[in-house]
Structure 1
Amino acid sequence: MDIVAIYIIAAGGIFVAFFFIRTLHQLCGPWTRAGVLLHLTYLAVNLLLIFFKIDSLTGAGRRAGELALVNLVFPLSAIHLSYLADLLGIIWRSCRKIHRATGWMAVSLLSFYMTVALQTQSYIFPLREAAISLGLLVLLSLPLVRRLSYEIFLRVHQVFAGIFVYGTWRHLPSHSHASKIYLLVALGVFGLTLLSQSIVFLYRNGLFSGRGTPRAIVSFSVSEAEEDSVVNAVHVRVLLPRPVRVEAGQYINLWMPSVSLCSWMQTHPFTVTSWSKGKQDTMELLVKPRTGLTADLARYAPTDEQTEGSSISFLALITGPHGVSEEVGQYESILLLASGCGVAGAIPYLKKAIYGYNTCTSQIRRLHLVWQVESIDEMSAALTLLNRLLKDDIVDGGYILHISIYVRDGLGHKKFLLGDHKRVYLYQGLPDYQSIISLEASGNQIERLSNMWDEQGRMLVMVSATDELRDRIRGVVRDYLHEGVKLSELEYQPSD
């Protein structure tokens, strides 16, 4: 083979590899270097365990099958990842990554085991059941299929997981005690988590409280278009039979069975935008209509001026609150970066930070919200909530909250000031995150005393944005870690 052919093959291979990695990043990203290293280590350990001191392919296949059952303990340990993440004290996205990694590893190991079983002609009917359900699980887990209807995907995913466990149990030979123990451990953990989750669910939803079940009061933010009205946001107030303590950034899973014909099988996570120092008997949610349950809710929006501003009540059941809350009181400056409906995840943190400043219980001296939206209409969903924050930020004329809203299209001016005290600015175009983070990290935006030592405190950057935007911000913040800047990606992300 001549040098030109070698060069063509090598260049083509590099291009294919780059395209494959880029496509995987778009579907499964964003990635971090630590995350990639952990996944590669996890893969290497499983490969080592398969082929270590193995004399035959049959032995490797048998060991791969046992390892698959061990890897399945985590994916089968809970019916819902939110509850499992709370038990482990990690955020939902991290729990989902572990679930996905162990699930795909189990699929790979079982595929290898089934290939060996085919070659040794030990492919019996129960294994075929497991293989079919496994194949359907893999197909439905692809992002392109999953995003068509997440609620339906979740229920079908759970059904096929049950069929797979049943087929696997029937396939296991009677003398394979170790393999049965692995599967029984997974089912035992599942049973315990299901029991504890059921008890908490019944208590949260008013069992023996004498106040009935929760109710969801739904209202709408509607703007007029050329031909028809457009629902920009749905505002939901959940009235609880028992007060619940909700930390900033936490979310609930909401079940509203009477919204539509299929809503009885749909639960949806929503970030709680309300925050209080104590327990809450009412939770406020900001919902962006998309598909599934949120689209069904938007159909109840008023169609004429006479019913505008009216609300509708639905039966509602909840799980949660779920999620890990970031402690913000120890930082001098907080920069919150949000895109689209990601502002819902930032609002409760702003409320908590302003409360800490007003009561002198935190070190916060500056808050800056940078919100990137596509159009002016997208702003209307959260304007009421942002106005409340500005009204709360008036103690001793502190005015620590500053809001910068970047509108991609439709503003008409490069820069526009809203209100007094120069606290809210509208900009045409996209934000320059490098300049914004650099300016905030310098500490020059905080007025300091000239006649005494005033040491610069730590800075926290909080992000609730798209995958691509989080990738960019992560790269920018990495250059300022040595200056005491910390990056926190909120529980809710618009791309989840």
Structure 2
Amino acid sequence: MNLIIIYGLFLGACVSLLLLLQLILFLKKHTTPLFHRMIVLSLKHVIYPHLFHRSWIFAPPTPFNLSLQLVYYAVSLVCNLIGVHSVDEFGIRAGNLAIVNLIPLLSASRLDLVAKLLGLSLHSYLRMHGTVGLTTCIQGLIHVIIYVWRNRFDISDSVQLYGLLSIGSFAILIFLTGIRRWFYETFLKAHSGFAILAAIMLWRHMGMKKVLARLHLLIGLGIFLGTSALHTMMLLARNVTSRQFGSKARIFRGGDIIRVELSVARPFKVQAGQSIYVWIPRVSFWSHFQTHPFVVVWDKQDDNGKAPNISLLIKERGGFTSKLSRHNQKATFMAWIDGPYGIPLSLGKYTHALMVATGIGIVSLIPCIREFVEAQKQQPILGRTILVAWEPDGESDLDWVKDWMDQLLQEDKGNYILRFGLYRHPRGSAPETDGQHDRIWNLPVGMDPKDLGVSAKNTIRDGMREVVRKEMKSDVTLIDLPFQPWENPRAPKEAV
């Protein structure tokens, strides 16, 4: 059987399972009671549960995620075995499949763009990218081991040397993935650099005789160049107009929180669940080579529903955010915006919503709350409610968000569907209420996941997921927003 056909079959199987998940989530609102019950059971036992506890290295998979990966690994193994009659053929087949797997790996320099084009969340696409990347490294390693075992290795042979450098580059990529949390910006640049080096060394390793293998690599590079050209055009369209080159940024600081006000060159529609990348070269020398993802917390819309002015809220941690906090708020900086990226959340269809956040995670929820309140104003639904449970890290968090909270409550005036529960460290012995119709509750306790995430610490999110899974008797949509607050003090805030 043709190798490309086999590869297409297993890619199709993975994509089909992804589409099946989307179909399940769509059909759960349009099904008979029996099928609806089956969907609830699949959410409860397949989609939502984690198989083991979270570690500092990686997030635990769900049964559905693991099933996708096992299908991919199984079909990949079959591809390695079909039509193979010797160990040498097995090694050659592994090398060929490693090259074919490079096609999706070389899809783009900005993975958010590929995820957007495929209609996937960045988290889902990164999991797929990592799975394919690990498989490629394993297949390449098998190819090298079998070749060295069956033949005499001679480093003076340029073909063997380039092959060794290629597999060495892939090994470094795997190692860098394990330390990306502490050196995120360095990891991004090094990851791209070693990926390019691996592709160049692989091209030299294959030589002129392996036309089909070179064609596979050219297809991957062609996709990379195409998406890079598309990305460049999107950047220019977003940041260059006849009246303005780039956006204008002003920086305000209070405590360990930084607010960035951006006057954008070309207004765009801000939607809940999306984020943008910001490039501000004047912040420091290294910021010339860095872009950082942030959530748009607030925007001022024009008559077309687009935002000429947007606000970002950033917690100072280190690196770029530390440099950003040192600048005078009177200065105006040139900035470029890339995005928005991410799957927009359609919240108007929900009747009840519980939103959970800790610390700076509230920045992801404010656009969601605003969209929910707007949906109620445009299409009122009797009994619609939204509860926001937030555990701020300190008073500075409240100081920056207070005006936006007041404005949300003002927009909700007359409907009174919005309630805030502020979980603050003990200040008294009993809960306090505030706001018209007691819509703000100050609770003198820390948040307990068994009492209630969406954009919260891992302990809260995992606890929330488990409580929902155990107690759900009807369908519940559990959404982890793209931005989640970091718990490791050394990890950069800007790394989403």
TM-score range, shorter chain: 0.7 to 0.9
**Alpha-carbon distance, 1:32 to partner:** 1.2
* 3-state SS, counterpart of residue 88 of structure 2: helix
**Alpha-carbon distance, 1:433 to partner:** 4.0
CA distance in structure 1 between the aligned counterparts of 2:105 and 2:457, rounded to whole angstroms: 26
1:267 aligns with 2:291: yes
CA distance in structure 2 between the aligned counterparts of 1:77 and 1:180, rounded to whole angstroms: 16
Counterparts in 2 of 1:23 and 1:348: CA distance versus 1, 3 Å: closer
**Alpha-carbon distance, 1:267 to partner:** 0.7
**1:181 maps to amino acid:** L
Aligned twin of 2:76: 46
- Deviation per CA, 1:259-283: give whole Å up to 9, x if none: 0111111110001112557111112
Note the 1:78-477 alignment, pairs <5 A: 78-119=108-149, 120-121=151-152, 124-142=160-178, 145-206=179-240, 208-222=241-255, 231=256, 233-275=257-299, 276=301, 278-300=305-327, 310-360=329-379, 365-394=384-413, 396=414, 398-407=415-424, 409=425, 411-436=427-452, 463-477=454-468
**Alpha-carbon distance, 1:346 to partner:** 0.6
* 3-state SS, counterpart of residue 332 of structure 2: strand
Identify which range, 114-123 or 33-42, moves more after superposition.
114-123
Identify which range, 273-282 or 312-321, moves more after superposition.
273-282
Aligned twin of 2:15: none
**1:167 maps to amino acid:** M
Counterparts in 2 of 1:182 and 1:25: CA distance versus 1, 3 Å: farther
Counterparts in 2 of 1:118 and 1:244: CA distance versus 1, 3 Å: same
CA distance in structure 2 between the aligned counterparts of 1:383 and 1:24, rounded to whole angstroms: 33
- Deviation per CA, 1:396-454: give whole Å up to 9, x if none: 2x2211001112x3534452323342111122333344444xxxxxxxxxxxxxxxxxx
Note the 1:3-42 alignment, pairs <5 A: 25-42=55-72
CA contact (8 A) 1:217 1:314 kept: yes
CA distance in structure 1 between the aligned counterparts of 2:397 and 2:243, rounded to whole angstroms: 41
CA distance in structure 1 between the aligned counterparts of 2:115 and 2:346, rounded to whole angstroms: 18
CA contact (8 A) 2:99 2:213 kept: yes
Identify which range, 116-125 or 192-201, moves more after superposition.
116-125
**Alpha-carbon distance, 1:26 to partner:** 3.7
**Alpha-carbon distance, 1:96 to partner:** 1.0
**1:86 maps to amino acid:** K
CA distance in structure 2 between the aligned counterparts of 1:182 and 1:44, rounded to whole angstroms: 22
**Alpha-carbon distance, 1:478 to partner:** 2.2
Identify which range, 479-488 or 28-37, moves more after superposition.
479-488
CA distance in structure 2 between the aligned counterparts of 1:464 and 1:433, rounded to whole angstroms: 13
* 3-state SS, counterpart of residue 141 of structure 1: helix
Aligned twin of 1:453: none
- Deviation per CA, 1:32-86: give whole Å up to 9, x if none: 1111111122112212221234222221111111111222222210001111111
CA distance in structure 1 between the aligned counterparts of 2:382 and 2:271, rounded to whole angstroms: 19
Aligned twin of 1:227: none
Counterparts in 2 of 1:361 and 1:79: CA distance versus 1, 3 Å: farther
CA contact (8 A) 2:298 2:367 kept: yes
Note the residue ranges of structure 2 that are not aligned, 5 or more in a row: 1-50, 155-159, 487-495
Counterparts in 2 of 1:23 and 1:106: CA distance versus 1, 3 Å: farther
CA contact (8 A) 1:149 1:291 kept: no
Identify which range, 169-178 or 261-270, moves more after superposition.
169-178
Counterparts in 2 of 1:24 and 1:421: CA distance versus 1, 3 Å: closer
Aligned twin of 1:3: none
1:76 aligns with 2:110: no
Q: Bigger relative contact order, structure 1 or 2, given CA contacts below 8 A and separation 6+?
A: 2
CA contact (8 A) 2:354 2:389 kept: yes
CA contact (8 A) 2:52 2:60 kept: no
* 3-state SS, counterpart of residue 339 of structure 2: strand
Query: TM-score scaled to structure 1, two decimals?
Result: 0.81
**Alpha-carbon distance, 1:356 to partner:** 1.8
CA contact (8 A) 1:353 1:364 kept: no
Identify which range, 55-64 or 344-353, moves more after superposition.
55-64
Counterparts in 2 of 1:30 and 1:174: CA distance versus 1, 3 Å: same
CA distance in structure 2 between the aligned counterparts of 1:291 and 1:102, rounded to whole angstroms: 32
CA distance in structure 2 between the aligned counterparts of 1:165 and 1:136, rounded to whole angstroms: 14
1:492 aligns with 2:483: yes
CA contact (8 A) 1:29 1:467 kept: no
**1:121 maps to amino acid:** R
CA contact (8 A) 2:54 2:60 kept: no
Counterparts in 2 of 1:62 and 1:140: CA distance versus 1, 3 Å: same
**Alpha-carbon distance, 1:243 to partner:** 1.4
Counterparts in 2 of 1:23 and 1:350: CA distance versus 1, 3 Å: closer
Aligned twin of 2:16: none
**1:240 maps to amino acid:** V
**Alpha-carbon distance, 1:354 to partner:** 1.1
**1:138 maps to amino acid:** I
CA distance in structure 2 between the aligned counterparts of 1:50 and 1:468, rounded to whole angstroms: 41
**For the aligned residues, what is the CA RMSD?**
2.2
* 3-state SS, counterpart of residue 479 of structure 2: strand
